[in-house]
Every structure is written in structure tokens, then in C-alpha cells.
Amino acid sequence: MMLTLWTWGANSHGQLGLDKVSEQVDTPTKILLNDCNNVKKIACGGGHTLLLDDDGKLFACGWNSKKQCGLENEVNKFQRVWSLSGIKFTNISCGWDFSCGVTDDKFLFVWGSNSHGQLGLPKEQFPESMKPIRLHVNACAVSMGLRHTAIINSKGEVWITGCNKHGQLGLGKDVLFSDRFQKVPATNKLTHIVCGQNHTLAWCSEEKALYVWGDNKHGQLLLTSDKYKKIYKPEKIDIDVKQRVKKLLSGWTNVLLWLEDGELLTWGRNNYGQLGTDKPFDGSIIHIKLPDGRQVKDIALGSEHTICLATDNSLWAWGWNEHANTGTTSAELVYFPTLLPLDHVDLRVSEIYAGGAHNFIVTENKDNEHDSSMS
């Protein structure tokens, strides 16, 4: 069975890996990959993309103004990051214009923009645009936002670096930024971490509790935004979830929890329909339902849109659609889960990924097809 990679959405920097630059690609289009042993994970930044294969090899394409691709030049098709060859990566993440990779021995490599210390490197000694460098940091989980980076180490501690203008580091009001990883004061072992544009959320599986800090202008921290515009130290919130969390995800200003029973809980800004409803967010958690009782197989958030794979192999999307990033023919805003047209019924979608305004899906192809587009 052959695995195939497809992509669509914004492509102004060649971040789709289609060997061309264009304003957008409207429908899922096949990517030709060289020297890549299947796809293990894809991470998307503002205008760049990282791809990790099953052998732990790293590939990149797209916007490279701050060396965020780890390459010498900007390329519009996936190219091996040869400066990191010989290193086996198990995880990758992208911020707006910076990137990182976690090795099989849990070391963290960082590269790209260090304008606010978001790489954990002293700004006085290291330039704003960094080639890949290994930090002596233990990272089991990692997330990157607009200008900050957070990791969870093997002890369940959160360590964080970068801009703290909105309190997104959780290190207190007096800290404007940090250019070294610092431990965030939190009480228990944390299992999930996610960075938004200017906020951070963490989940503690043991307590079944949410920890939040940073910008709360749009209620993305589930606190009253009039009273709590910014949270400078972690606040523990009990959201009455008594089950395992499959994924904790964040867009720029919205958050989503995917629970073990398949429920989707979401909150935060809804100016583009990113919460899957046309109603403004009033501070109460919203439950997103797929049409006709469909169950969720996987879900991914971009900066202001969502793509969701159902167990019946149907693909749904909602939110911001200015660059056709929801893959639908709807208007610029898609307020409700809307079906993406996937015409090839013998294609089974196995993985989905979303970035700033672009997406990738991996399909299992029963027959060796040669079509260049799925619709």
C-alpha cells in the first residue's frame, strides 16, 4: 500500500512543497517527495514547513528569511536539511519564523529567529537568525508560539523562553523576556503543553486540570477577559473533565481539547468561525459536533482554522478561509464543520496536519494513481 502526501492553502513562500510559489492552492494536490521514507510528522510555521520521516530524517521548505527552514536558501519543494543529517529526530515544532527538533535521546535542536530569545539562546551572543544548534535541554514535549517556546521535560516540568510581554512565559509581570529556558512555577507533573500567539496552556493528566497563563483578551484562558486581560503566572482551572485528553491544541487565540470519548471542547476568539459556530464566544466552553453523529479520528488546528478527520474517512473544516485553507468553496469564513470534497473513494486518510493557513494530509492509496489533484 502506497502512502501519498497532499496539500492545499496559502503558498506565498512555497510552503506547500509543490515546487512553485502561488497565492494559494484551492484543492488538495499531490506532492512528490524524494528520499523520504513515509511521513512521521509535519509541523507548519507562518510560512514554512518541516517534515519528519520514519527514519528520523528532516526535510523543509518555504519561508526562510530567518533560517527557520535550517537551509541555506529558500526552497519551494521539500529539501533534506543536510546540516542535521546523521541525527535521528522523533518530534518537530514550528513557531512563526523559528523551529525546533527533538532527538531520539530527547535533546533539543533550535534554529530560526531569536529576536525575543525564543530559541533559548542569549541574544547578546547569538544573532537573530540562527542555524541549527543543540541545547543541553531535555524535551519530552514541545510547542512554539508567535515569539515563545515551551517544553515539558522528563520530570513533567515546564521550561519556557522568549517574549513575555503578555505573560506568556508564566514567569511573573516583571520579566519582559527570557533568552534562556526557565522553569515555570507549577505544582504537579504536566503532560500536555501548547503555545498560542501570546498565551500558553498545559494539562495535568493526574489532576485532570488545566493550567493557563498569558494573553486572555479573547477569553482563551477561560477566565473573564474584562477582569483578567493578562495572566502572568500559571492559574489552575478545573473544567470538570474526568477523562483522558487525547490532544490539547491552540490556534493564535482559540483552544481545543479532544477527549478520550471523542468530544471536542473549544473556546476563545471566534471572529473567523474558528470555534465551529456563528455565535460569539461568551465564556462558556463550546462542544463541537460533526454532522450526523460522526466520530473524530483526528483533528488539527491552524492559526485560525481547523481540519478534522472523521472515522468514516470524511474530512471536515471550519474557520478562516481567506487562502482556501479550509479546502471548501465557501466564503472567506466557514462557521460550521463543512465537508471537504475528496473524490477518490479508494483513498483512506491516515494523518492530517494544519499550519498558519496551509494543510497536509497523508493517504493510503490502494491503487497506484497518477492524478495531480483530488478534486
Torsion from C-alpha of 26, 32, 33, 38, nearest 10 degrees: 80
pLDDT score at 80: 97
Instruction: Please report, for the chain, the start and end positions of each structural domain, with discontinuous segments joined by +.
Output: 2-365
Sign of CA dihedral 336, 247, 98, 6: negative
Q: Which single residue is written with the C-alpha cell 520514519? A: 54
Question: Which of helix, strand or coil describes residue 291?
Answer: helix
Kind and range of the H or E run holding 125: none
What phi, psi does 130 have (nearest 5°)?
Answer: -115, 135
User: What strand order describes the sheet that includes 89-94?
Assistant: 89-94, 98-103, 107-113, 129-138
- Residue 234, φ and ψ in degrees, nearest 5: -55, 130
pLDDT of residue 353: 97
Closest by CA position to 2, among listed 28, 33, 25: 33
**16, 44, 145, 148 from 27: Cα distances, Å:** 12, 18, 27, 32
- The C-alpha atoms of residue 173 and residue 7 are separated, in whole angstroms, by 41
Distance, in Å, from the CA atom of 158 to the CA atom of 152, rounded to the nearest integer, reads: 5
d(CA 201, CA 250) in angstroms, rounded, equals 8
Q: Which residues of the chain have pLDDT under 50?
A: 345, 368-375
Check residue 251 and give its pLDDT.
Answer: 98
Can you give the pLDDT at residue 235?
A: 96
Rounded to two decimals, what is the model's pTM? Answer: 0.95
DSSP 373: B
Contacts of 263 (CB under 8 A, 6+ apart): 287
Question: What are the angstrom distances between the C-alpha of 45 and each of 62, 94, 165, 215?
Answer: 9, 5, 21, 20
C-alpha grid cell for residue 118?
A: 525564543
2-365 folds as Methylamine Dehydrogenase; Chain H (2.130.10)
Return the pLDDT at 346.
62
